[in-house]
Homo-oligomer: A and B are copies of this chain.
Amino acid sequence: MATDTPVRDQVSDGSGSATRSGRYAQPEVDLEALTDLLDGRYADVRRLVRGQLAEHADILLDAETMSRADYRERVKDVLVEMAGSGHTGLGFPTEYGGGGDIGASIAAFETLAMGDLSLMVKAGVQFGLFGGAILQLGTKHHHDAYLRKLMSGELLGCFAMTETGHGSNVQALGTTAVYDPATQEFVVDTPTELARKDYIGNAAAHGELAVVFAQLEVDGEGHGVHAFVVPIRVDGEPAPGVTIGDDGLKMGLNGVDNGRLWFSGVRIPRENLLDRFASVSPDGVYTSPIESKNRRFFTMLGTLIQGRVCVGGAGINAAKVAITIAVRYGLVRRQFEASSEAEEDILLDYGLHQRRLFPLLARTYGLHFAQQDLASALHDVLTGVNEDEHFQRELESTAAGTKALGTWHATHTIQECREACGGAGYLAENRFAALKADSDIFTTFEGDNHILLQLVAKGLLTDYASEFEDMNQLDMVGFVAGLAVDTVVEKTRAWQMLQRVKDLLPGGDDWDQEAGLLDPDYQVAMYRFREEHTVSSCARRLKRGMDNGMAPGEVFSRVQDHVIAAGRAHMERVVLEAFVDKTREVPEGSDLRVALTLLCDLQALVGIEQDAAWFMQHGRLSAQRAKAISREIGSLCRKIRPLARVLVDGLAVPEELLRSEQLIGAVRGPVAG
């Protein structure tokens, strides 16, 4: 009953305006070609990592059966073993034995998210956060001292930024590092209980060194947050002056030894300041190539952007596992007699089940392509191919936004897929338990998602002005309010976008009625219009609030949900465009193109449907057209149904990682589709 024959689809749907010219021919998708397309430039490294994960698939069982202490050791051991294969060093310079390829390193890392997520996070802590800080914030002296050893896993380290009292607001950290010229040392202290370092990976058991973020003070003057290399363990025991606590049991990721660090008069040599962006001379003179304190701070943070890119990618890849299991379960599980009294129907033949899962599948594809673009842009910036400052600021913003969308998508997809697998989905062996618990924190990692979308909006509202990064919330409100009334929109990013929408749709306000629902130009124009409008409306609201004499804080609080909405609208457009662009790369008329276009259309239209009220309120969607979109979504789902299996198989999650014998293996009925 699910497979739409072309004729029936035309007849029963009747959404003539929405269907492409001519009859719809069922495409046949070549699995290998699909996977190659998804794997892209880094197919080799993705295959390598998938192979390693399959080989170490038993760690998924260890995670359930071992004590927490043993599991931590096991994760560490696999990590060190994997380090030997080289893919964890892909992002480091070739002169230290690394791969010198940031893009490849991101591809490798995010692929790890198909396996045990403790292993992935531990790798992220070691090679991304700790190694990345040494590489990006340190200079040759530090690279020589640490890079080879940390790449091999011989030296394990921490990234000690977050404190109990401060997460997203890093500038307000409490830990201090005071320079003592007498001994040419920094003295590191934890002044209050809220200033203890918290949730620090590798801290509770394995880390020897920590890159500690602390307020630098030289000769009584504060210079803001800087990073220092601090030994925290010597021969397995806490170093003098260092107290180490264990964060204890967590919702998930219990293979990672998160802990707390307190410093009491810990003395480290002057050379332990990671001094790429600032240094202190032996006699206590502070110098930095970047004058503004704020600017310096955000430049430092900016180099660590890779962490956000990696977490976003991890979310997207974790979602791949969930959607693969749920779709495959839907293809073997039968429930209720709907078509005939004789036999129960395949779950995925139910319209509702398709409606629950296929939009998630489509979005997984869309985010995957957007993430690929992002990683590629990051590669260009970090390797110096693109040195445009504006491009860099935009990249930071896109990284923040992709991380937010990718990780929320993981949370949402894993939940929906678990429910779609019923009670079987609740058993640990079927992976959802760990997927859900482990990935939950991704929405908080590397910045709370709402804060990240605010960052995206800030960039749009200030058109990534050179002051963009320096601005806190108050500054941003002030900046926007400071623009002259008439230029408030023109000075923001919104203006350019509005122009582009007009270029795309020269037909004036009637375009909405004329364009086909499946025309990607129409779809993108809708997303662009929303973006433009939410950004400019935000700007106006901020300005009006200030003009009406409200305090900036109150203005911000009241406009905050519009700010978030603007950031989200921008990112949704970025993701859709990435998907559309990728689809257009595939030869026109090919079956692969047809199949990808089904998913892309679904992603585009579901996004409009979910925000239909907004589009209607803003005159861009009639009630009739909104209904046509919902009908078209149903039709797209029915066309995707016969392709469901190949579309999840294309995501290439190794069979060994699916486990789920009970779900899709032993209890397998006749396989449909």
Residues of B within 8 A of A551 (CB): 1, 339
Scoring A residues 407 to 436 as 1 if CB is less than 8 Å from chain B, else 0, what string do you get? 000010001001100111111110011001
Contact in complex: B336, A428 (CB < 8 Å): no
Q: Which of B339, B560, B634 contacts A351 (CB 8 A)?
A: B560
Contact B553 A1 (CB under 8 A): yes
Distance, CA A162 to CA B355, complexed state (A): 26
The answer to whether the Cβ of A38 comes within 8 Å of any Cβ in the partner chain is no
- Chain B residue with minimal CB distance to A454? B352
The answer to whether B618 and A426 touch across the interface, beta carbons within 8 angstroms, is no
Query: Which A321-380 residues sit within 8 Å CB-CB of chain B?
Result: 334-341, 344-345, 349-352, 355
Task: Give the residues in chain B near A617, CB-CB below 8 Å.
Answer: 612, 616, 623, 626-627
Picked from B194, B198, B474, the residue with its CB within 8 Å of the CB of A423 is B198
Inter-subunit contact A662/B444 (CB<8 Å): no
Assuming the A-B contacts A473-B336, A617-B627, A634-B558, are A162 and B423 also in contact, with contact meaning beta carbons closer than 8 angstroms in the complex? yes
Once the chains bind, are B338 and A553 in contact (CB under 8 Å)? yes
Which of B557, B560, B616 contacts A613, CB < 8 Å? B616
On whether the beta carbons of B443 and A248 are closer than 8 Å, the reply is: no
Known interface pairs A344-B169, A344-B172, A428-B248; A473-B560 also in contact (CB < 8 Å): no
Query: For the complex, is A561 an interface residue (Cβ under 8 Å from B)?
Result: yes
Which one of B1, B418, B423, B626 contacts A554 once the chains associate, using CB atoms below 8 Å? B1
Does B335 contact A169, Cβ atoms closer than 8 Å? yes
CA distance A165 to B419 in the complex (A): 16
CB-CB under 8 A from A337, the residues of chain B are 172, 472-474
Which of B334, B338, B554, B667 makes the CB contact (< 8 A) with A557?
Answer: B338
Bound form: Cα–Cα A22–B345 in Å: 60
Q: Give A193 to B423 CA distance when docked, in angstroms.
A: 16
Q: Within the assembled complex, what's the spacing in Å between the Cα atoms of A556 and B618? A: 34
Which of B169, B198, B423, B429 touches A336 (beta carbons < 8 Å)?
B169
**Closest Cβ of chain B: how far from A138's Cβ, in Å?**
26
A484 interfacial by beta-carbon distance below 8 Å: no
Interface residues of A in 469-527 (CB under 8 A from B): 472-474
For the complex formed, measure the closest distance between the CB of A297 and the CB atoms of chain B, giving whole angstroms: 14
Among A64, A172, A554, max chain B CB count under 10 A is at: A554
Asked if A423 contacts B560 (CB within 8 A), the reply is no
Task: Give A333's nearest chain B residue, CB to CB.
Answer: B165
Choice from B423, B472, B557 contacting A444 with Cβ under 8 Å: B423
Known: A338-B556, A351-B561, A626-B617. A251 touches B437 (CB 8 A): yes
Most chain B CB inside 10 Å of its own CB: which residue of A341, A345, A351, A626: A351
Query: Of B198, B249, B423, which contacts A433 at CB under 8 A?
Result: B249
Q: Please give, as numbers and ranges, the residues of chain B lying within 8 Å of A65 by CB-CB distance.
A: 249
* Bound CA–CA A551/B556 (angstroms): 56
A21 at the binding interface (Cβ < 8 Å): no
Point out the residue from B12, B424, B443, B560 that lies within 8 Å of A419, measured CB to CB. B443
User: Which B residues are CB-close (under 8 A) to A194?
Assistant: 667
Q: Which residues of B contact A559 (CB under 8 A)?
A: 351
**Binary flags per residue of A228-262, CB closer than 8 Å to B gives 1, else 0:** 00000000000000000001111110000000000
Min CB–CB distance A574 → chain B (angstroms): 22
A441 within 8 A of B: yes
Instruction: For residue A213, give the distance in angstroms from its CB to the closest CB of chain B.
Output: 15
Q: A550–B666 Cα gap in the complex (Å)?
A: 35
- CB neighbours (8 Å) of A662 from chain B are 164
Provide the bound-state CA to CA distance between A344 and B334, in Å.
55
Pick from B199, B340, B411, B436: contact of A553, CB under 8 Å = B340
CB pair A428 B553 closer than 8 Å = no
Q: Verify if A656 is at the interface (C-beta below 8 Å from B).
A: no
Q: Does A224 make an interface contact (CB < 8 A)?
A: no
Chain A residues 537 to 560 lying within 8 A of chain B, measured CB to CB, are 548, 550-554, 556-560
Q: Does A564 contact B (CB under 8 A)?
A: yes
Contacting pair A450 B168 (CB below 8 A) = no
Query: Bound state CA distance, A219 and B308, in angstroms?
Result: 68
Q: How far is the CB of A446 from chain B (nearest CB, A)?
A: 11
Q: Give Cα A337–Cα B338 distance, bound, in whole angstroms.
A: 58
Closest beta carbon of chain B to A118's beta carbon, Å? 13
The reply on A93 being an interface residue by CB < 8 A is no
Partner of A164, one of B336, B344, B352, B667: B667
Q: How far is the CB of A474 from chain B (nearest CB, A)?
A: 6
Give me 10 A-to-B residue pairs in the complex whose CB atoms sit less than 8 angstroms apart, sorted by A's number: A162-B423, A164-B662, A247-B427, A251-B418, A338-B556, A339-B551, A352-B560, A418-B440, A426-B444, A617-B627
Q: A250-B428, A251-B428 are in contact. List 18 more A-B contacts (CB 8 A).
A: A1-B554, A164-B662, A165-B334, A172-B344, A193-B667, A199-B426, A251-B427, A252-B433, A337-B472, A338-B553, A338-B557, A339-B551, A419-B444, A419-B448, A426-B441, A433-B437, A436-B440, A612-B613
